[in-house]
Structure 1
Amino acid sequence: MTSSTPPPPPPPPLPVADGLVSAARRNLRGVAHGLTHPSHPPVPPLAGSPRRWRRLVPYVVVFVLTALFLPVTMTMLANEYGVGAWPAGLLAVGQAAPLLMLAHRPLQAWWIVFPAGVLGALVLLAHPQPTQGIWPWPPPTLFCFLFLLLAVALRETRRTTVAVWALTATASLVLHLSVPERSNGSAGLLAIFGALVMVIGAVVRERGVAQRRLAEQETISVAERARRTLLEERTRIARELHDVVAHHMSVITVQADSAPYRISGLPQEVREEFESIAASARESLTEMRRLLAVLRSDGSAGERAPQPGLDRVQQLVEATVRAGLPVELSMAARLPDVPQAVDLSAYRIVQEALANVIRHAPGARTRVSILTDGTHLMVLVVNGLTEKPGSPLEPESSGTGHGLVGMRERVRLTGGTLDTGPLPDGGFRVAARLPLTPVAPAAPEDS
């Protein structure tokens, strides 16, 4: 018989007490770090305001508080409690002068006022208490603490705020229990009102943080929408330009393949050159069709339809008139040979401009002009004020601006210029100038 070795016993579980001790140590380290390291830079509130008077408000407030409480504290300690002039002055400086730091360093101000307040309470024990005297916190000291706790709650984290209040309330409780016959309620008042002002300050602070985060998210969302719009428009333009280029490449392929049959007596080297040209053209067409398959995610029949051009502007205007928009078309009777990219871009600019008029100025009289000077094609769409009340022309503020983004992208890719903007009479103008000869387009902007 073979004897089997029993498995080793499992390690004993970690005692619950050890886990609680470890958690308590971590929390204490976090509290100690929060009390010694401010969570915000030494920048006063409203420092980022564009108005100078608003940036000066925090400094004015802390200066007024210091100028008010410093002489009041010194006078009350000297006259009401019988403290000597020099001790009263030093205690007043320690308890009221740090109020100047409330705007940018409230936590450091608390580290000065808190021990100065406790020291002042101990100094008052050496003097007879006046009839109307309050111990351990005289009224000026009490109000200094409240303003200080409010400033800490407005700038520091929730953990640090609670720790500051807990230490202040603990000091009040210890002083009250040490000399209960001398204490007459200010210890409890500081704990209660201190908790109240700190809750108010924490609520205001967290609301401000939430608003800042919301504003940041809105800014990011706007930037992302603009970036996505630009990318979508570039993708659409890439699909359309692909169709234009594919047409020319197909013509090159056919011509290269048929050249040896159309032209007799070609040397063998020339025939091989035509075969190489046709093969390269077919390879390019294959690569471009593969790219088009990626761009056309839905593969809809509409994407395979012939791309529109200036020959369909008349139909576009007629459809817009049937939709209820009074449009007049002025178009040159004979246009020179227009490159397909310019032809398509001109049609899309007119289409988007009319769509913007329908959305932002329904019923406004609109004029579409397509002219040429021999070297450039001019596309002009001008509309007046809307004839329907309650629909003001606000192409930039009320709309998303996607149409104008697409227009600018198309014009930039063809090497032209675009001018858009409101008119003095309240209407709007879209003017594009597209070259009829190939021009190197401007480098695309980073998105």
Structure 2
Amino acid sequence: MKSPTLQDRLQELPRSLASPSPDRRPLLADAPNPWLRALPYAVAAILVVTLLPIDIVVLTGSYGLDGYPAAVLSLAQTVPLLLAVRRPLPAWWIIAAATAATAAVTVGSPAGAGPWPWPAATLVGYLFLLAALALRESGQALLAVWLVTAFGTVGAAAAFEQRAGGAPAVAVVLGGATLLLGWSLRGRGEARRRLAEQEQISEAERGLRTLLEERTRIARELHDVVAHHMSVITVQADSAPYRLTGLPPEAAAEFATIAAAARSSLGEMRRLLGVLRSEQHGDPDRTPQPGVRDLGGLVETVAQAGVSAELTVGAEVEALLPLPDAVDLSVYRIVQEALANVVRHAPGAAAWISLAAEDGALRITVVNAAADGVVGGGGGGGGAAVEAAEGTGHGLVGMRERVRLLDGRLDTGALPEGGFRVAAVLPVTAPGESTP
């Protein structure tokens, strides 16, 4: 697509004066403070109340106009300032026409009567109007307004040089400066607003990425759990005809079908795991997945980071061991993340971990005291992974995902006396399974 030329842009200028902004909200409508939103109305009202009588007095007393024409022109130059709060470009058309008419009827006034073609009161109101335009209209419209103002003022000064004096140059310079300053402030405000919106979007994307990373990690870990069971099924189905004598051919064929299906499923899971593993984890981790029996080692590890942790495992939990693999792994990871948060956010604080079983569910509770100078304990989630307790760095996000996976419950929050509490309840039997 061909970019517009200078001639095309110049042809657009007149059309921009006939196309006001579709935004009809008051100026500063997005300001956070109510007094800022009311400021344009207040300034416009003060200008109208102040400039209207001054303009009438100046036009009648200094420029020699009769009372009725002076009042009509003064009203046309001041009252539209109220309209400028919402529709500055239509207000400009009215005030510009009234200013031109005033200049035409006062051109014969004595040179000492006052500045011409811009009486002082008219210029003050016009500058407010230009500021309103700069905050609302497009750059093309602002350029067109300034060109009309400059050419009209310079043309009148050139035609009536003896009457004009130095007032036209002041009006043109002040008008251009007002438009430029207002346009710059508007651009800065829009840039800050867009930056704030982008920060919100980035924060949401970071949260989603964290969630997806944690789900991918859980999927990789659960692959090992499921793959173990699928391998057992494959071996048992393959060896059944040799272990069980007298099997009918139909049963042997059924076992062969089961073994083939299990091998196929295991292969699909391995291919899925290859997709889930990132490039930085090129070699598969063949370390056995940790569980409840490894919590003692985890407590010793975080002690090296300055966190004194005490582990209590109820006798009823010992009776349930071994737990289902998914539950066993999730218990370890939840405790690991909770202790990693203590190391990050409450270094040096004491922590207590307790495991209890009740009503077919396992209750995990991790409580930490508030460290010196740390308010609220270790409740936050993000940050870099802590060497002493190698969590995922996703904190509460990872805990919630693991609890959701097992149809459990998670309760976290700061304690009134300081510190933080993490409590999770996991069904010992995952949904759809039977107790082993």
C-alpha separation in 1, matches of 2:86 and 2:380: 40
Which residue of the other structure, out of 148, 151, 169, is the alignment partner of 2:129?
148
Partner of 1:111: 93
Question: Do 2:344 and 2:378's aligned partners in 1 also have CA atoms closer than 8 Å?
Answer: no
- 1:381 aligned partner, one-letter code: V
1:124 matches 2:106: yes
Partner of 1:12: none
Q: What pairs up with 1:295-314 in 2 under 5 angstroms?
A: 295-298=276-279, 299-301=281-283, 303-314=285-296
Provide the TM-score with structure 2 as the length reference: 0.90
Counterparts in 2 of 1:440 and 1:162: CA distance versus 1, 3 Å: farther
Counterparts in 2 of 1:35 and 1:397: CA distance versus 1, 3 Å: farther
1:181 matches 2:162: yes
1:241 matches 2:226: no
- 1:330 aligned partner, one-letter code: T
Counterparts in 2 of 1:338 and 1:62: CA distance versus 1, 3 Å: farther
CA root-mean-square deviation: 2.4
1:291 matches 2:272: yes
Provide the TM-score with structure 1 as the length reference: 0.88
Deviation at 1:424, TM superposition (A): 0.8
Partner of 1:328: 310
Which residue of the other structure, out of 276, 279, 282, is the alignment partner of 2:263?
282
1:160 matches 2:152: no
C-alpha separation in 1, matches of 2:211 and 2:382: 19
What CA deviation, in whole Å up to 9, does each residue of 1:193-214 have, x standing for no partner?
A: 1122222212211111111121
Question: Do 2:346 and 2:374's aligned partners in 1 also have CA atoms closer than 8 Å?
Answer: no
Deviation at 1:325, TM superposition (A): 0.8
Which residue of the other structure, out of 205, 208, 214, is the alignment partner of 2:186?
205
Which residue of the other structure, out of 341, 347, 350, is the alignment partner of 2:335?
350
Question: Do 1:40 and 1:155's aligned partners in 2 also have CA atoms closer than 8 Å?
Answer: no
Give secondary structure in 1 for the equivalent of 2:163: coil
Which residue of the other structure, out of 418, 430, 435, is the alignment partner of 1:438?
430
C-alpha separation in 1, matches of 2:337 and 2:306: 16
Which residue of the other structure, out of 413, 426, 431, is the alignment partner of 1:421?
413
Counterparts in 2 of 1:397 and 1:125: CA distance versus 1, 3 Å: farther
Which residue of the other structure, out of 353, 372, 376, is the alignment partner of 2:361?
376
Deviation at 1:50, TM superposition (A): 5.3
Question: Do 1:81 and 1:130's aligned partners in 2 also have CA atoms closer than 8 Å?
Answer: no
Partner of 1:256: 237
- 1:435 aligned partner, one-letter code: P
- 1:417 aligned partner, one-letter code: R
Counterparts in 2 of 1:357 and 1:45: CA distance versus 1, 3 Å: farther
* Deviates most, 321-330 or 63-72: 63-72
Deviation at 1:41, TM superposition (A): 1.0
Give secondary structure in 2 for the equivalent of 1:109: helix
- 2:190 aligned partner, one-letter code: V
C-alpha separation in 2, matches of 1:419 and 1:269: 52
C-alpha separation in 1, matches of 2:89 and 2:167: 23
C-alpha separation in 1, matches of 2:360 and 2:378: 34
Counterparts in 2 of 1:390 and 1:354: CA distance versus 1, 3 Å: closer
Deviation at 1:415, TM superposition (A): 0.7
Give secondary structure in 1 for the equivalent of 2:395: helix
- 1:439 aligned partner, one-letter code: P
Deviation at 1:44, TM superposition (A): 2.2
Deviation at 1:34, TM superposition (A): 2.8
Partner of 1:365: 350
C-alpha separation in 2, matches of 1:390 and 1:419: 21
Partner of 1:5: none
- 1:305 aligned partner, one-letter code: T
1:31 matches 2:13: yes
C-alpha separation in 2, matches of 1:272 and 1:440: 28
C-alpha separation in 1, matches of 2:431 and 2:41: 59
The count of aligned residue pairs is 420
C-alpha separation in 2, matches of 1:396 and 1:104: 46
Identity within the alignment, % = 49
